[in-house]
Amino acid sequence: MRAAAIALVALMLVGRAAPVRAEGFVSPFVGYNFGGDSGCPQISNCDDKRLNAGVAIGALGSIFGFEEEFGYAKDFFGSAPNLDSSVLTVMSNLMLVPNLGPVRPYALVGLGLVKTHVSFNPGSLLTSENNNVGWDVGGGLIGFFSSHVGLRGDLRYIHSFQDLDTLGFSGNQTKLDFGRFSGALVIAF
């Protein structure tokens, strides 16, 4: 009888557990690249910052989250007459984002596409485009001002798995890598 009562209480507690809910979000960002193959050798003291922009779409749970992040950097390899270059990243990231109230620190890791584009003349006769599989790792902080609106600061490192091939010339084990610092608006729903 005592075992049945304990089992009944345990069953009621398990049945009473709150369902796990994820909160969706959209987060447009603006930032700049640094280090690695970017025009800025370090995050500070750089006069040649290359602006990037994008958006992250995802869901935040009580501990874990997921985001699909799209980023674009024009003039990634620098600006010069008759040079056009860009890098597009599309990353799927798993997030560790504990719900600590209105402030949520996070760490993330993911895989995705790193697409480079380089052309050396106005007619684009010499053009190179590469689609590479890459990974990213990073983290940041989300601060909510209300239940649906907040700001996000993000620092991440992006690296491609494959060698770069520019205009048919492959660098010896040259892989694209760079860091990115960004700030974003967060709209939760």
Q: Which CATH number fits domain 25-188: 2.40.160.20, 3.30.1220.10, 2.30.22.10, 1.20.1290.10?
A: 2.40.160.20
3-state secondary structure the chain: CHHHHHHHHHHHHHHHCCCCCCEEEEEEEEEEEECCCCCCCCCCCCCCCCEEEEEEEEEECCCEEEEEEEEEEECCCCCCCCCEEEEEEEEEEEEECCCCCCEEEEEEEEEEEEEEEEECCCCCCCEEEEEEEEEEEEEEEEEECCCCEEEEEEEEEEEEEEEEEECCEEEEEEEEEEEEEEEEEEEEC
CB 70 within 8 Å of CB 48: no
Q: Look up tokens 């106005």; give the residue.
A: 122
Q: Which of 154, 161, 164 is nearest to 54 (CA)?
A: 154
Q: Do 38 and 76 touch, CB atoms closer than 8 A?
A: yes
Please report, in tens digits, the pLDDT of each residue of the chain (189 residues total): 677 677 666 656 655 544 445 689 999 999 988 877 766 555 666 566 678 999 999 999 999 999 999 999 988 877 677 777 889 999 999 999 999 989 999 999 999 999 988 777 666 566 677 788 999 999 999 999 998 999 999 999 999 986 655 545 454 445 788 999 999 999 999
Q: Which residue carries 């790193």 as its tokens?
A: 114
Q: How many CB atoms lie within 10 A of CB 35?
A: 15
Percent of the chain past pLDDT 70, that is, above it, reads 71
Alpha carbons 171 and 88: distance in angstroms, whole number? 20
For residue 46, the model assigns a pLDDT of: 59
Provide the residue type at 52 as one letter.
N
CA distance from start to end of the chain: 47
Q: Are 77 and 119 in contact (CB under 8 A)?
A: no
Global pTM reads: 0.76
